[in-house]
Chain A
Amino acid sequence: DTEVTQTPKHLVMGMTNKKSLKCEQHMGHRAMYWYKQKAKKPPELMFVYSYEKLSINESVPSRFSPECPNSSLLNLHLHALQPEDSALYLCASSQDPTSDEQFFGPGTRLTVL
């Protein structure tokens, strides 16, 4: 298995909802990432997990809460989001903290109403 999978593919939520995005990889990668991508813009790093521990938080608002239950899974819990949080949320992984090649999943298209 050489891919990163993400679910759901699309998500529509209200500002009072709580939802979660899921990411999974079975390549044995030990670093996993969350990116946010607005339309026609490049991806922007949100969080980095290294060996299941949060190593980088790019000053992301607390309404986004990441979780890494094990080495294959990465979640992003969403609560009280704003319409401007609507974007494509991308998960990526790399072999280990020293590996330079990041592989992306297909993304979750999030719309906040």
Chain B
Amino acid sequence: GQQLNQSPQSMFIQEGEDVSMNCTSSSIFNTWLWYKQEPGEGPVLLIALYKAGELTSNGRLTAQFGITRKDSFLNISASIPSDVGIYFCAGQRTSGTYKYIFGTGTRLKVLA
């Protein structure tokens, strides 16, 4: 199936550092979701974005809906060991069609 380009593919960072990752597409999207998935578990919804330019925070996480509607960004500030996991973006082209296209994932490892 179709996938969104997500970068970086993986990151190794020190505890306390800030993290940035992004998701890009050649197509316009109406909705962006960001999920975190830990080993053996299902994805957990972190942030939902609905409007171009929208900036939304959830604790130490901040996500932005790109102005062009073709990209989205996720930042994690002051990372902690429990931030470890795979972060997926998911984009929906047409609202209410149930179908999300998932990004390839960013694997984050935090070194204490």
Report A's interface with B, CB cutoff 8 A.
Answer: 4, 6, 31, 33, 40-45, 48, 50, 55-56, 58, 90, 92, 94, 97-107, 109
Contacts and interface: CB of A to CB of B under 8 A. Distances in A.
| Dominant SS among interface residues on chain B | loop
Interface of B: 1, 3, 31, 33, 35, 40-45, 48, 50, 88, 90, 92, 95-96, 98-100, 102-105
B48 A44 contact: no
Nearest to B104: A42
Contacts, number: 66
Given A106-B40, A107-B41, 16 more contacts: A31-B98, A42-B88, A42-B103, A43-B43, A43-B88, A45-B99, A48-B99, A55-B98, A100-B31, A101-B48, A104-B42, A104-B43, A104-B44, A104-B45, A105-B42, A106-B42
A42 B41 CA distance: 13
